[in-house]
Amino acid sequence: MTTTQAQATPDVRRPVAAAGTRHTLGRVLATLARSIAIFVPVFLVATFVTFALRSLSGLSPARIQLGEDATPEAIARVEAQWGLDRPFLVQYGDWFNGVLHGQLGTSWTNGADISTLIGLGLGVSLSVATFALLIGVVVGFALGTVAALRRTTWIDRAITGFVTAISVMPAFVVGIVLVAVLAVQLKLFPSAGYIPAEQGLGPWLAHITLPAVALSFDVVADVARQLRSSLVAAYRENYVTGAVVRGLGPRRVFFCHVLRNGLGPALATLGLKFPSLVGASVVTEWIFGLQGFGRFANDSAQAGDVPAVQGVLVVSIVLVVVFNLFVNLVLARVTPASQRGV
Amino acid sequence: MIRRVLALPSGRIAVVVLAVIAVLAVFGPLLAPQDPLATSDNTLAAASGAHWLGTDYLGRDVLSRLLDGSRVSVLGSLEVALTALVVGVVPGILSVYLGRAFEWITLRLADTLVALPFLLFAVAVVALLGNGITQAMLVTGVLVSPLFYRVSRAATLAVARSQYVEAAIVSGASLGRVVRRHVWVKVLPPIAVALAQTVGVGFVIVSSLTFLGIGVQPPAPTWGGLLASDLGYLSHRPWAPLTPALLIVVTVWACNLLADAIRDVSGEAGRALLNNRRARANRLDKADPAPAGGAS
Amino acid sequence: MSTLSEKLQAPAEHTAKPVRPSQPVLSVREVRISDQAAGREIVHGVSFDLTPGRTVGIVGESGSGKTLTCRAALGILPAHFEVTGGSIELDGHDITGFSTAEWTSLRGSTISAVFQDPASYLNPSIRVGAQVAEVIRVKKKVRRREARRQTIELLRAVHLRDPELVYGQYTYELSGGMLQRVLIAAAIAAGPRVLIADEATTALDVTVQAEILDLLADLREQTGLALVVVSHDLAVVAQLCDEVLVLRQGEVVEQGPTHEVLHHPRHAYTRLLIAEHEQYGLDRFLAPEEDA
């Protein structure tokens, strides 16, 4: 009996492993397809709204270039140069085609290529946003986990209180306080500016730490809160009772069963949080004097430079969509059941 | 429900704080001791008897500007919340009843609005469409409306598919009566929670926009604007941002506290809370062998 | 069948405790359970002894306290519920004052359980085979590969067709009957001496129910497993049990050998249960409410 088993085992393993891989690949593809099916309409609608902004705003490059008292003929000439005299849908089609090829057009104010301008600022913003996400995830996970494990004790209440406190602090308020205390008063950090990572990791970190901390408060609070409640909910599930009854220790039950299922909602929160992170960068970059993506958005918007604003919005939408795609893939890996029949 | 919210200490605190803020918004401009726009030579003064919170870089009385600016901030956040409520709840409830095409379209629209970084979008829209905090707030309201859409849709779905509503319809109750008696009761608490939250979110957005100087004409005071002007003179008056920052934080906190209180007194969480209290009261001996099964 | 007995005796050898038939592995004495939230007693004194290879049945309607009694023996009473009287001895140890570590070492290897609605008792995010293998790996301290081999044998032993395929599937891909078999496999993976089957066949259709009961009987014969079978259905109890307790509103109204209780019921409530069964015999088709 034992000999036959020993022979049988290798034969048995292979088909299972193969089926497993096929399964996994299929799942990844299915998740990708579903996510894309959701995001393509999102992208279309969002870009359309973005593009419609110009018509709605009634702004024109002629005003910016020629000033307020230009003749109607001059305005018409400039608008024709920019192709603004064509039907709306033709303009949209052209612009959308450009977007698909990475061409976001040229700025009304200085004629520079918008893709290049945004590319310059993106490095700064992504450094800060990534660092903020990192802080948010690490601190949020730690707080949420500890609160869930010590639920209904004073530790839980203290963490919940702290999380509530930081969740109501808007990024720009935190930013100002950080600048006032840590940069201006204690001189621990530079109060403004940015140094690329290539010029030294230390200065780079020093410059992005304060803005990242300011942005991270919201993420920390949301991740901690969501993780706590989904972990507490997961602890109430029958499969936890099942694992306990099978004699698995508390640590194993937590890491292998509770955390895995509790992670899903927290990850989804992260996906939802990303847009507000991008949005808040407008304010934090203003406070910390960073020439990033958000600052560029603010400056272009205030200058009435419509193509630049459209470009910023498109890039932000792409960022959000890509990030959410990534989150969905991770989610599909962590909690396969949740992906079913959504 | 209001009585039950007030029964919770957190609910009482939230209501009191919000009431104070509301009083500031209504009577603030009248309470202002000095003209909030009047400049003087006494710039960047520290707090004193004449200027309780000091003066800003143009010598204007900070307290007066704070009181005068409260109206814009509070009205703005209410506008955001009410716009979001109307824009979100109506299609949210209708999406359950108006067929699959309407459902699909509204769901995609909600997806889209959620994916937009709303502060960025608000900045862009307001700057391009121009001027006025009201337009800004209407746009922001639309951008945050998916929260209401989802909440009202989920609650309506749960009710529409629940067996007791089916039973009520089968037993001959009119649709209107079913909606009044069963749907409202279930849909209202989550919407109230979302509303309280959105007022807080609106507050942050108004402050952020005014901080950036968007949607307001320069001399007019706002809480965000005060912070922005303080930022430039941190080395002279390091504590200046404290008061407007605290006001913003406390208001947002009170909104969230109210949202939590509403959530606590309605639905399952409320019952768990009560049970916990009763159990604690009943358990005379402190020996408590690992309360929940999962904890052991 | 030789595979089954071979596999299932191996764990028993591993735990290597002398099995004295006279010594009860589970002994419940006058156990009282109270709901501290409501401040009232739910179970008013339940007693029984269980020796290896024997089966005790607990019957009663929803809310009669049968599930609570089992959960007390497993140390997994819901929040606010506490044992307020009597004692429970597991393999000679009084469970009051057990530490978490002591419970962890006893569960799975001395006492284990399967429940109604098996899908919910398995983690939806982990392949079912991996969950059985996890128990083997942790409780028997074997390597990953060996655990996998033993798991597939175990899945075969609980009569799952194509165990290799089942190993790699998730709960939502399996039927109720298959899930209950997986749950049984996970429960007996570490060779427990007592298995509690709490309404384990309730949600299954009749043929599957009969197969699962047969499987439990097989396991009992071949490994000397002691069973506690909880059901609202007299037929299930009659098929498996040596001794029956009839519970009503937390009170044991009748207790004795199955044959005795079924044929000479002394309490009116037992007679009512039997009469209803004879009259309708349909209750197994109705999915009853889960009891608290």
Q: Each residue of B167-195: pLDDT tens digit? A: 777 777 676 776 666 667 777 888 888 88
A17 touches chain B (CB under 8 A): no
* pLDDT surpasses 50 at A81: yes
Q: What integer pLDDT is reported at residue B1 of this predicted model?
A: 67
Average pLDDT over residues C140-154: 90
Q: Is some CB atom of chain A closer than 8 A to the CB atom of B217?
A: no
pLDDT score of A139 more than 90: yes
Confidence class of residue C292 from pLDDT cuts 50, 70 and 90? Answer: very low
pLDDT, position A17: 46
DSSP reduced 3-state for C193: coil
- Determine contact, residues A292/A121, Cβ cutoff 8 Å: yes
Does residue C70 sit at the A interface (CB-CB below 8 Å)? Answer: no
Give bridge partners of residue C55 from the DSSP assignment.
Answer: C227
Q: Note the pLDDT of residue A326.
A: 84
Helix (H/G/I), strand (E/B), else coil: C200: coil
Backbone CA torsion sign across A243, A245, A249, A251: positive
Distance CA B210, CA B204 (A): 10
Q: Measured at the alpha carbon of residue C217, what is the angle toward residues C211 and C220, in degrees to the nearest 5?
A: 145
Shortest CA distance to C216 belongs to which of C241, C253, C235?
C241
Chain centroid to Cα C79, Å, comes to: 21
d(CA A150, CA A157): 9
Q: What is the mean pLDDT of residues B183-209?
A: 81
> How many CB atoms sit inside 10 A of residue B186's CB?
16
Residue C13 has pLDDT above 80, yes or no: no
Work out the number of other CB atoms within 10 angstroms of the CB of residue A297.
Answer: 32
Q: What does the H/E/C string look like for A64-79?
A: HHHCCCCCHHHHHHHH
The pLDDT assigned to A180 comes to 79
In chain B, whose CA is at the least distance from the CA of A37? B108
A194 vs A178: CA distance, rounded Å: 16
pLDDT at A260: 83
Residue C29 has pLDDT above 70, yes or no: yes
- Residues in B whose CB is inside 8 Å of some CB of C read 275-276, 278-279, 282-283, 288-293, 296
Residue-wise pLDDT tens digits, C87-118: 899 888 888 888 888 888 888 888 999 988 88
Distance CA C213, CA C210 (A): 5
Amino acid at C25: V
In chain A, residues with a C-beta closer than 8 Å to the C-beta of C121 are 238-239, 241-242
Question: By 3-state DSSP, what share of chain C in percent is helix, strand and coil, each rounded to 5?
Answer: 45, 25, 35
C51 close to C28: Cβ distance less than 8 angstroms: no
- Hey, of B10, B21, B118, B128, which one would you mutate to test binding to chain A, going by the most A CBs within 10 A of its CB? B128
Chain A contacts in chain C segment 189-228 (CB below 8 A): 189-190
Cα gap A278→A258, rounded to integer Å: 31
Q: What is the 3-state secondary structure (H, E, C) of B167-217?
A: HHHHCCCCHHHHHHHHHHHHHHHHHHHHHHHHHHHHHHHHHHHHHHCCCCC
Closest CA to A211 of A152, A294, A305: A294
Whether B238 contacts chain A with CB within 8 A:
yes
Residue of chain A whose alpha carbon sits nearest to that of C166: A16
What residues in B contact A176, CB-CB < 8 Å? 227, 230-231, 241, 245
Provide CB contacts within 8 A for B94, sequence distance 6+.
B102, B106
Q: What is the DSSP letter of A180?
A: I
Mean predicted confidence (pLDDT) in B208-220: 75
The answer, for B207 touching chain A at a CB cutoff of 8 Å, is yes
Query: Could you tell me if C34 and C219 are in contact, meaning their C-beta atoms sit under 8 angstroms apart?
Result: no
Task: Give pLDDT tens digits for A221-234.
Answer: 888 988 888 888 88
Distance from CA of B233 to the nearest CA of A (A): 10
Q: Which of B244, B111, B258, B141 lies closest to B197, judged by CA? A: B258
pLDDT of amino acid C116:
85
Alpha-carbon distances, residue B272 vs B265, B278, B284, C40 (angstroms): 10, 10, 20, 18
pLDDT for the residue numbered B49: 63
Angle between helices A293-303 and A259-287 in degrees, nearest 10: 50
Instruction: Calculate the CA C232 to chain-centre distance.
Output: 14
pLDDT for C251 equals 87
C76–B293 CB contact, under 8 Å:
yes
Chains in contact with B, where contact means 3 or more Cβ–Cβ distances below 8 Å, are A, C
Cβ atoms of B21 and B6 within 8 Å: the answer is no
Q: What is the pLDDT of residues B256-292, one digit of tens each?
A: 888 888 877 776 555 555 566 666 666 544 333 333 3
The more confident residue out of C10 and A75 is A75
At residue A103, does pLDDT exceed 60?
yes
**B274 to chain C: closest CA residue:** C37
Are β-strands C55-60 and C40-50 bridged in parallel, bridged antiparallel, or unpaired?
unpaired
Residues 6+ apart with CB under 8 A from B87: B141, B142, B145, B148
User: Using CA atoms, how far apart are residues B239 and B219, in angstroms rounded to an integer?
Assistant: 22
Q: State residue A15's pLDDT score.
A: 46
Give the range with max mean pLDDT: A299-313, B174-188, C62-76.
Answer: C62-76
* Beta carbon pairs, B and C, within 8 Å: 35
Mutation target for A interface from B121, B214, B247: give the one with most A CBs within 10 A.
B121
Residue in C115, C125, C164 closest to A12 by CB: C164
Mean model confidence pLDDT for chain A: 78
- Band of pLDDT at residue A293, cut at 50, 70 and 90: confident
Nearest C-alpha of chain A: how many angstroms from B244? 9
Whether residue A244 contacts residue A253, with contact meaning beta carbons closer than 8 Å, is answered with yes
Rounded Cα gap, residues A5 and A15, in angstroms: 16
Q: Residue B89's pLDDT is what?
A: 86
Q: Which residues of A touch C152 (CB under 8 A)?
A: 12
The pLDDT score that the predictor gives to residue C133 is: 92
List the one residue out of A240, A325, A108, A52 whose CA is nearest residue B295. A240
Report the gap between the CA of A240 and the closest CA in chain C (Å): 7
pLDDT digits (tens, 9 = 90+) for A176-230: 888 878 777 777 777 777 777 677 777 777 788 888 888 898 889 888 988 888 8
How far are the Cα atoms of C8, C145, C272 from residue A6, in angstroms, in the given order?
A: 18, 12, 56
- The confidence band for C152, taking pLDDT boundaries of 50, 70 and 90, is very high
Q: Is the Cβ of C91 closer than 8 Å to some Cβ of chain A?
A: no
pLDDT of residue A143: 92
Q: Mutate one of B21, B105, B120, B235 to test the A interface: name it (highest A CB count within 10 A).
A: B120
Judged against a pLDDT cut of 50, whether residue A98 lies above it is answered with yes
DSSP string, chain B: -HHHHHHSHHHHHHHHHHHHHHHHHHHHHHH-SS-TT---S-TTPPS-SSSTT-B-TT--BHHHHHHHHHHHHHHHHHHHHHHHHHHHHHHHHHHHHS-HHHHHHHHHHHHHHHHS-HHHHHHHHHHHH-S-HHHHHHHHHHHHTHHHHHHHHHHHHHHHTSHHHHHHHHTT--HHHHIIIIIHHHHHHHHHHHHHHHHHHHHHHHHHHHHHT-SS-TTS--HHHHHHHHHTTTTT-TTTTHHHHHHHHHHHHHHHHHHHHHHHHSHHHHHHHHHHHHHHHH--S-----SSGGG-
Q: Averaged over C44-51, what is the pLDDT?
A: 89
Q: Which other chains touch chain C, taking contact as 3+ CB pairs less than 8 Å apart?
A: A, B
